[in-house]
Structure 1
Amino acid sequence: MKTLSKCLTRGSATPVQAAVAIFQAVLLVSESGSRLRPRGDAASTLAVDDQKDGSETMRTPIRLLLTTCSLAAIAMPAAAQTAPAQEPSKEATSLGDVIVTAQRREQRILDVPVSVNVVSSEQLDRQNITTLADLSRAVPALNGAGGALSVRGVQTTGVSRSSEAAVSVVVDGVVMGRAAIGNLFDIQRVEVLSGPQGMLFGKNASAGVVNITTAAPDPAAFEVIGHIDYGENNYERERLTVNVPIASTAAVRVGLHNGRQDTLLRNSLTGARNYTEAYGGRARLLWEPTDALSINLSGDWEYSGNGGVLNAAFNRVGPGTPLEGRLAACGIVASPSNILNCSEAVSRQALESTRYGYAGQVDYRFANGFTVSSITAQRNLEIGDFGLKGPGGDSDFINLDILSTNISSTDYSSFTQEFKLVSPAGERLEYVAGLFYSDSDSRDQVVQAGTLGLLPPPLKTGRVIRVGYTQESYAAYGQATYHLTDRFSLIGGARYTNETLDADVESAGAAELASTYGFLFVPGFSNAITALDETVETKNWSWRVGAQYDWSDTLMTYLSVARGYKGAAVNDQGAPSGLSAVIRPEIPLNVEAGLKGAFLDGRVLATVSAFHTKVDDFQTPVYQPPTATNPVAGFFQGNAPHIITKGVDVNLYTRPLDGLTLNVGLIYNDASYASDFVVACNQRQSPGVGACSAAGTTAPTDQLANTPKWRGLVNGEYTRSIGGGWEGFVQADLTYQSSFDHSSTPDAFTRTRDSYLLGGRIGVRTEDGRYGLSVYGRNLLDNTYPYTVADAVSVFNGGARQSYYAAPSIDWRRNIGLSFDARF
């Protein structure tokens, strides 16, 4: 901190000069063939070196940040060095009341007997958190490994279209379902609730809830807010928000976002480099005709897509295998640093998606303090192109048509209606009650084709699978808190759910395959999916009981037991004879004890929770070994007997001194499968040898897949006035997680080592928040942590069951860029 203080207390240039210097430094560093270096002994004097050897531009984060630090220091007036130190006021260092809606009413976080993490809009900006997956850098219990959100290790994996996410995403009270938003923009705050939460938040949510509150329109002021990020690998992200008052009681707020980034992967055949892009917007109208009545209307639309180059590359191939030679012919050597593939079948259309919807909420507050609300919403999701019949979604990653077509298209819609009653706060009995209705409909189509290494080109075999389902849900819920004394309270609640799922699955016949797609019908592949017409009706009670004791206004403890629910699904990818097509409901039982308190005059807010969760009938892919009636082994969506997660979750939010904000989070999570659950042996094992049984099964990993046992976060920002209405700031965030497996099958090659991700930001801004300029960095340590999986077609593409590929993320390599903020 002393070094940081020195960095922010020297120099004599104006704030504008400092901002320009930072901007010029970033431009110089980002230019190809140039780098910054100190000239002579003057650390604040810079020169530009030209690199004549064509090597990559110097990108050492410490150098860049120190250079920027010296530039920012120019802006510190000399008077600041001699100003007498002043004791910060309690108001300046107090965190104040943190407000959440974790129990469907506004409360202080200290009064909520639920494990909840809060991420403010300021923290989202500080840490460059722009997607749901990025939230894992701010919440230790939340993780995005494996491609799906998990809370405390519980997530939904597999391929059943009717299986809903264990972590529910709720935006302004609306359950998103499969049409959850992908990007975060114009957000007021995000709350992450751990443990079963479906009793109050819509449906399912057997693992937890990501509860998002967008920024509300403000009738009091016209405002324009802009934010721009530009970084390496053609990273760009723009956000624009306009707030327009249309009366003293009404306003419209419109938010737009646009983003694009080149991934590191390239196609060696075409030279194309993949990219991801997303753009969209949200419009929200707020009208408060009286003090008692509030009307909110909103609509949003978002597109996401990429360049069509597959986001995967081989990082391990067995020596001497045919696949090694095929890759060499493309100029590729498989290694952990490989960023090349040579797929001949790319299709941008196969990977495009659009999400959109609208919502209306009416709240009326009666004179006696009761509030009734109605929330109506429609959500839609469209993925891919049902008419696409050519190659796309290549799943063999080489320039042979082994499985060059693997296209999945979706058309999903969901309608929800909720009525809610909230009792007045401060009474001996407080409660929330409501009715909920949901009706969703989905149509999916999967097209898979190739030679499978068995047919001579141009002949190919294929299959077309069509899945349709409708899901209707009715529910009534209520939760009450009874204050026996001013300090001691009892909590109880229940939810009754009645759900009906209708699903039908069919495969295209030989005639359609030949005439429409040009595929040969091959028994055992083309008709591997058995036709299905299934109706599943489920009735369920979920509940929560607990007690809370307030030791003071700033310290409380609680104990709760909650039974959750995640609805039944249908195995729409087919099930062998003898296995049920119905995937049973997932039932979690969570026992939790917690403590929350504010200390040191409100400068420290601490939350601690100890939890034990058993999830019965955990929905997951299940391996079916070959039998006499089912000679082909395979994975099918089903139920594991149970899983257990247990551990401790600790979070600290602090403001130890004026200008410094520091957040610390840590979770220890011992998560395991049932002892009688078996999984497939890894692809390098042989049945009947070692730990692999004759049936090709083995015991699962000791820890749940995609679940580190330890996960810790530290993030903070230090701000200091530099005079002239400007302030300088430095921000840093570090994420640590212990090693974990990407699959339930033990395999050293699909295990990720301990990881450390360091990010940071340094810059200047006006004290009124109107303008800001900063340099940011992600993965400043430049560590590589790819998402590695086994090659599903290794037996066909010449990999001889020894091939693996990696799917990188935005944090696979260091990324440094520039941010600009403006507010009018």
Structure 2
Amino acid sequence: MIKMGWKLRAAPRRAWQSTTAMLLGSTACLLVIPSGEALAQQREGSGEIVVTAQRREQAVMDVPISVSVVSAAKIQTLNLSTFTSVAQQTPNFNITFERGANSAPDLSIRGVRGDGSTARVNESSVAVYVDDIYLGDENSLAGHMFDVQRVEVLRGPQGTLFGRNTTGGLVQFVSAAPTAEFTQKASVLYGSDNWLNINGAVSGALSPGIRTRLAGQFETHDGHHTNRATLAGVPRKLGAREVWSVRSTTDFDIGDASSLRLQVTHSETDSESTPNYGPGVWRDASRALCSRAEIFAARCVDAIVLGGQPPITSIRPGDAITELTRDELAIKHKLTSATAKFETDLGGASLINIANYTHFKSRVGLDGDGTTPSTLNLRVYVQLFNESEQFSDELRLQGESQAFDWVAGVFYYQDKKKNRNVVQRRTNTNAASVIAPSNARVDTTSGAAFGQIDWRFADRLTLTTGARYTIENRELVTAVRGATQAGPAVLPAVDVRSGVADPDPVTKDVTGRVSLTFEATPDHSLYGSYSRGAKSVGYSVFYVAGSLAENAAKTGPVGQEHVNAFEIGSKNRLFDRTLSLNLAAFYYLFNGKQELLTVAGNQAGGGIAVLTQFINVGRAEMYGAEVELDYKPNERWDFNFSGGLLRTEITKSPVRFQTPLGTTVPLVGRPLPATPKWNLSASIAHHIPVSGVGTFTLQADGRAQAKQNTGLSNISLADIPSYGLVNFRVMWESEDQRFNVQAFVTNAFKKTYFNGISDANLGAGSLLTQVGEPRLWGVKLGANF
């Protein structure tokens, strides 16, 4: 438990006070611009942005939570089909990839990041929901991101209504619903590297009281990265993608007061991981370190180059390097999900039950050495096999009256997650000299009871209180380091679970929220809140070598993390509701913060393997501010801007570890990983209506962020440099809005940027970088009937 008596140290306290004063001052100024009577008149007939952030439909203005909403129109216009593209629209939402956009994402909201490990037996601190269904593995989302009505990003702990593993926040994808009238839509995109994306949906009534919607997508391309390996026979394009998905949603009216929705989704992926690109860090054979400027200018060498391999001469957008085949780099996913939602009106209250079953299976192939391919005996090939099976059921009762809105319910969740990793170290003839498999299974059973009430106890004032009690068991059912071949010798398999002190932990948590909202006018509100969140225990189950005691100690379980979060915010609509301005400031106190430690370890038989391990770093604090602005002064112009500031620090930790440079350092005083100090996104669109022809739109959009470091060691050599990307679009829509065409270019100025940089290979003289995509182009045709 976190003691509320902690004192804020001087610097954070001053920053928090300054941010708070700025926010309150801005809000006070905004509140006096239009009169209440004028705003009340504006409200009539105007559209509202509706969200389900509190498990019921509400105008975003009425929700005392920092919520970003990405609409269906924006998703279609910007071709948002990946997690990264959604994050780019949201302040203080950061995503990094260890192995390219087809691999598992590492999510971070306000500096609180998710799993990001290869084993996938743990859950993220940033929860992912699809139509009120929690996904235990966010990697399975690839099969859901199509025919979306909107995407909601909730920043801050959501432990009351959504529960465990939401210490950072959550992302919810809301699918388009069946319609009574017959409608259909379709779009086709073609672009760089034979990029083809086909989306379509058809919806309508099958009979009175039965409506259905069938939607599907297919996306493929040859890969947006270029292999810089000089070996004969290697693939030249890397990171290929092929995903197809289909979803059926059917609504049944049961009498006058009840309804049943049945939804089935199936998706399959046959894509590729993107290998790293490893620039050297040594000046020459003396192994003196280069400067950052020299490293990213590709003027330095590593151990392989010193052994005779030609050096890397430049780092260009889309660079990657590997000697592996497409089959070896394959990422194969298969997802099946079925949901039943029953809702009935009891008169004064609604009863809702949502049950879901999801099965997800995955195989990922990786180039494990991350360095320049050569004839040297240093090739590492990794295969990751993961499978999850989950069932959840939520029953809730909710209602409203003149003074109260309330919701209460119970939730049950269980899953089984299996992981098998195989690491091969290959000889010059491609024979495997070392095979080091690991097998693990973790079963989770979780139950919760929750409730929340909004009490409008005075004119313009609403008090929100809620709590959730959760009891959970995460059992390590299997943990085995398999038999390892090391030259002619074979190391026997080790039952790691037998050495784990507590492989069957049970945890109990009370999380909750209290907030006060002041609605100065229908278009101006100010809120302050306190919330508490918790994350489940975790396990580290990627084994390469070591004794039973060493592997058991590494396995865990890693203790829970808890957060106490404080936030103030303001939501405003101005100038006849042509301008929307949302502001927020926050301060978090963490106890037992979970983080991923990545180090380089020796393999049996020689060579280096990159290892990941979950640890509790201790106590941490973070604070920051956010702004979102949307301005549409007339039918010809749209302006959007969002930005975030973020500061993090580990304030108390017993952990000391050895960095890749060989020095032993404490964690105290270091920032948390993947936390850029600022991020900005903006777009501007100019619409040109032409009578009898339609509307033409010229649009520019972009995103920029400060440097960040994704490792706990925080070595400056491994900082991901700050960068900014700019995209351009030209669009046309017919007057009846039935047809649309667009041409676009992304990363228009061919900026070289990095999605990830690891320092784990510094001992071999190189960084492991994940280079971002190059400039891409595309043309898209769409129709709606």
What TM-score results when the alignment is normalised by the length of structure 2?
0.82
Q: Distance in 2 between matches of 1:636 and 1:298?
A: 37
Q: How far apart, in 1, do the equivalents of 2:304 and 2:46 lie?
A: 58
Q: Is the alpha carbon distance of 1:803 and 1:456 closer, same or farther for their aligned partners in structure 2, counting shifts above 3 Å?
A: same
Q: Bigger shift: 228-237 or 186-195?
A: 228-237
Deviation of residue 155 (structure 1)?
A: 0.5
> Partner amino acid for 1:605?
S
Give the partner amino acid of 2:342. V
User: 1:346-357 counterparts in 2 under 5 A?
Assistant: 347-348=327-328, 351-357=331-337
* Alpha-carbon spacing, 1:98–1:774, altered in 2? closer, same or farther (3 Å): same
Q: Which has the higher strand share?
A: 2
Tell me which of 455, 459, 463 is aligned to 1:486: 459
Deviation at 1:479, TM superposition (A): 0.5
What residue number does 2:125 align with? Answer: 166
1:272-291 paired onto structure 2 within 5 Å: 272=235, 273-274=237-238, 275-291=240-256
Q: 2:619 aligns with which of 613, 636, 642?
A: 642
Provide closer, same or farther for how the CA distance between residues 749 and 230 of structure 1 changes in structure 2, counting only shifts above 3 A.
Answer: farther
SS of the residue 2:447 aligns to = strand
Query: Residue type of the partner of 2:513?
Result: R
Partner of 2:633: 656
Once residues 257 and 624 of structure 1 are traced to their aligned partners in structure 2, the CA distance between those partners, rounded to angstroms, is: 39
Per the alignment, residue 821 of structure 1 pairs with: 782
Contact 2:479 / 2:541 at 8 angstroms: preserved in 1?
A: no
- Aligned partner of 1:39 in structure 2 is none
Structure 1 residue aligned with 2:382: 406
Q: Which amino acid aligns with 2:766?
A: S
Q: Confirm whether residue 201 of structure 1 aligns to residue 162 of structure 2.
A: yes
Measure how far apart 1:203 and its partner are. Answer: 3.4
1:148 aligns with 2:106: yes
1:739 matched to 2:707 = yes
> Would you say the 8 A contact 1:701–1:741 is kept in 2?
no
Equivalent residues in 2 for 1:441-452 (5 A)? 441-450=416-425
1:703 alignment partner, SS class:
coil
Q: How many angstroms apart in 1 are the aligned matches of 2:481 and 2:487?
A: 11
User: Contact 2:315/2:752 (CA < 8 Å) preserved in 1?
Assistant: no
CA deviation map 1:458-504 (0-9, x unaligned): 57122211101110001000001111113112111100001011113
Q: CA deviation at 1:724?
A: 0.8
> 2:55 matched to which residue of 1?
104
The answer to whether 1:214 aligns with 2:175 is yes
Matches within 5 A, 1:53-68: none
Identify the range of structure 1 (486-495 vs 320-329) with the bigger mean alpha-carbon deviation. 320-329
Aligned residue type for 1:251: R
Q: Work out which of the residue numbers 304, 325, 338 in structure 2 matches 1:323.
A: 304
Which of 338, 350, 375 aligns to 1:371? It is 350
The alignment partner of 1:570 has SS state of coil
Alignment partner of 1:148: what SS?
strand
Alpha-carbon distance between aligned partners in 1 of 2:555 and 2:775, rounded to the nearest angstrom: 47
**Bigger CA drift: 769-778 or 144-153?**
144-153
2:538, 2:695 → 1: CA distance?
Answer: 55
Match of 1:10 in 2: none
Distance change (3 Å), C-alpha of 1:123 and 1:396: closer
Q: Which residue of 1 aligns with 2:399?
A: 423
Q: Call closer, same or farther: CA 1:101–1:623 in 2, change over 3 Å.
A: closer
Matches within 5 A, 1:8-23: none
1:124-158: CA deviations, max 9, x gaps? 12222111221112111211125311111111245
8 Å Cα contact 1:315/1:337 also seen in 2: no
1:258 counterpart = 2:215: no
From 193, 204, 211, the counterpart of 1:233:
193
Deviations 1:79-106 (A, max 9, x none): xxxxxxxxxxx98999731111111111
Q: 1:359 to 1:579 in 2, by over 3 A?
A: closer
Return closer, same or farther for 1:176/1:757 CA change in 2, 3 Å cut-off.
Answer: same
* Match of residue 343, structure 1, among 312, 323, 343: 323
What does the per-residue CA deviation read over 1:649-679, in whole Å, with 9 as the maximum and x for residues that have no partner?
A: 1111221112322221111111222354656
What letter matches 1:477 in structure 2? Answer: F
Q: Which residue, out of 563, 580, 586, partners 2:532?
A: 563
Instruction: Give the C-alpha shift of residue 325 in structure 1.
Output: 5.1
Partners of 2:563 and 2:329 in 1: CA distance: 39
Distance 1:726 1:254, change over 3 A: same
Deviation at 1:578, TM superposition (A): 6.2
Q: CA deviation at 1:595?
A: 1.0
Q: In structure 2, what is the equivalent of residue 463 of structure 1?
A: 436
Offset at residue 615 of structure 1 (A): 2.0
Taking a change above 3 Å as real, the CA distance of residues 486 and 290 of structure 1, as seen in their structure-2 partners, is: farther
1: CA distance, partners of 2:633 / 2:91: 21
Alpha-carbon separation, structure 2, partners of 1:198 and 1:815: 40
CA 1:652–1:706: 2 relative to 1, 3 Å: same
C-alpha change, 1:353 and 1:791, in structure 2 (3 Å) is farther
- Distance in 2, matches of 1:113 and 1:338, equals 41
What is residue 619 of structure 1 aligned with on the other side? 594
The structural deviation recorded for 1:529 is 5.5
Question: Within 5 Å, which residues of 2 pair with 1:503-582?
Answer: 503-507=476-480, 510=483, 521=489, 531=498, 534-573=503-542, 576=550, 581-582=556-557
Residues 308-319 of structure 1 correspond to what in structure 2 (within 5 A)? 310-316=274-280, 318=282, 319=284
What aligned pairs does 1:801-820 form with structure 2 within 5 A after superposition? 801-809=764-772, 812-820=773-781
Check whether the contact 1:93–1:656 (CA below 8 A) recurs between aligned residues.
no
Cα shift at 1:382? 0.5
Query: 1:285, 1:676 → 2: CA distance?
Result: 52
1:271 CA displacement: 3.9
Q: Are the counterparts in 2 of residues 405 and 449 from structure 1 also a CA contact under 8 Å?
A: yes
Q: Which amino acid aligns with 2:765?
A: Q
Question: Is 1:640–1:674's contact at 8 Å kept on the other side of the alignment?
Answer: no
Paired residue secondary structure (1:124): helix
Give SS of 2:75's match. helix
Range with greater deviation from structure 2 (754-763 or 671-680): 671-680
Cα distance change, pair 636–682 in 1 and its aligned pair in 2 (3 A): same
Classify 1:253/1:509 alpha carbon distance in 2 versus 1 (closer, same or farther; 3 Å): closer
Number of residues of Structure 1 aligned to a counterpart in Structure 2:
696
CA distance 1:782–1:92, change in 2 (3 Å): farther
Offset at residue 573 of structure 1 (A): 3.7
CA distance in 2, matches of 1:323, 1:289: 69
Q: Give me the whole-angstrom Cα distance separating, in 1, the residues matched to 2:58 and 2:394.
A: 21
Deviation at 1:763, TM superposition (A): 2.2
The aligned amino acid for 2:580 is L
Measure the CA separation in 2 of the matches of 1:767 and 1:91: 27
Q: TM-score, normalised by structure 1?
A: 0.79
Q: 1:202–1:362: structure 2 CA closer, same or farther, 3 Å change rule?
A: farther
Kept in 2: contact 1:127–1:759 (CA 8 A): no
CA distance in 2, matches of 1:148, 1:303: 21
**CA–CA distance in structure 2, aligned partners of residues 459 and 108 of structure 1:** 59
CA distance in 2, matches of 1:92, 1:760: 34
Show CA shifts across 1:555-577 (max 9, x none).
Answer: 11111100111111233346737
- Alignment match, 1:134: 85
1:614-664 deviation digits (Å, cap 9, x = unpaired): 2211111348999xxxxx997531211022220111111221112322221
| Structural RMSD (CA) | 3.1
When structure 1 is superposed on structure 2, of 650-659 and 569-578 the one drifting more is 569-578
Q: 1:536 to 1:708 in 2, by over 3 A?
A: same
Query: Partners in 2 of 1:349 and 1:458 — Cα distance?
Result: 17
Structure 2 residue corresponding to 1:766, chosen from 717, 721, 734: 734
